[in-house]
Amino acid sequence: MTAPSRIVFEYAAHDDLVGALRRVRAEGYSHVEVYTPFPSDEIDEELPGPPTPVGAVMLLGGVIGGCGAYFMEWYAAHDYPYNSGGRPLNSWPAFIPVTFELTVLCSAIFGLLGLLWLCRLPRLDHPLFSLPQFIRASQDRFFLAIRTDDPRFTPLGLERLLEDSHPLSKQEVTS
């Protein structure tokens, strides 16, 4: 399967991008991408797509880390039984600190790896990087990209829809 090309609009201001994004969403476009120098709640509300599962991934990491840590302590305490002041082998209050630390540790590691996996990073090459003005997507420009495999996409329709949204440039990026 060949990847679809994108029509990329460049905007100078955050609010211009939000306006354009609202317009394409109202028309029912769903294969829409935005590229911005910083995250924005307004853009996130308009952007299609499911909510992020990164929280669930981190919860999973925490559960694995916590249960694993407690099991390790329980196992070690029984594998090498040691009477410390008459305390039971399964001295659960004393086992909590390490359990807590490893819960946090595994959750954070799952968070980092989950974030990279969900974003499909590291990926040093991307078709958009071939666009000369895209270098400012990290600086001070806001980009809207409509994929041509969008079921609502027609070149003329998109042109009409966004012609008065004040884009600084419009380019097609093939991949």
For position 149 contacting other proteins by CB under 8 A, the verdict is no
Nearer to other proteins, 114 or 167 (CB): 114
Nearer to other proteins, 86 or 156 (CB): 86
**Phi and psi based region of residue 86 (left: phi greater than 0; alpha: psi -120 to 50; beta: remaining):** left
What are the strands, taking DSSP E only, across the chain?
Answer: 6-11, 32-35, 142-147, 169-173
Residue 174, helix vs strand vs coil: coil
Nearer to other proteins, 15 or 172 (CB): 15
User: Kind and range of the H or E element at 95?
Assistant: helix 92-119
The residue with tokens 């969403």 is 25
Residue 123, helix vs strand vs coil: coil
Nearer to other proteins, 73 or 161 (CB): 73
Residues in 10-49 that interact with other proteins by CB under 8 A? 14, 33-40, 43-44, 47, 49
Nearer to other proteins, 71 or 154 (CB): 71
For position 3 contacting other proteins by CB under 8 A, the verdict is no
Q: Which two tokens stand for residue 50?
A: 């499911």
In the DSSP assignment, the letter for residue 69 is H
| Buried-exposed string 138-148: b where 16+ CB fall within 10 A, e elsewhere | eeebbbbbbbe
For position 136 contacting other proteins by CB under 8 A, the verdict is yes
Residues in 95-124 that interact with other proteins by CB under 8 A? 95, 97-98, 100-102, 104-105, 107-109, 111-112, 114-116, 118-119, 121-124
Task: Give dist(CA 5, CA 145) in Å, integer.
Answer: 10
Contact footprint for other proteins (CB under 8 A): 14, 33-40, 43-44, 47, 49, 51-52, 54-55, 58, 72-73, 76-77, 79-80, 82, 84, 87, 91, 94-95, 97-98, 100-102, 104-105, 107-109, 111-112, 114-116, 118-119, 121-126, 128-129, 134-140
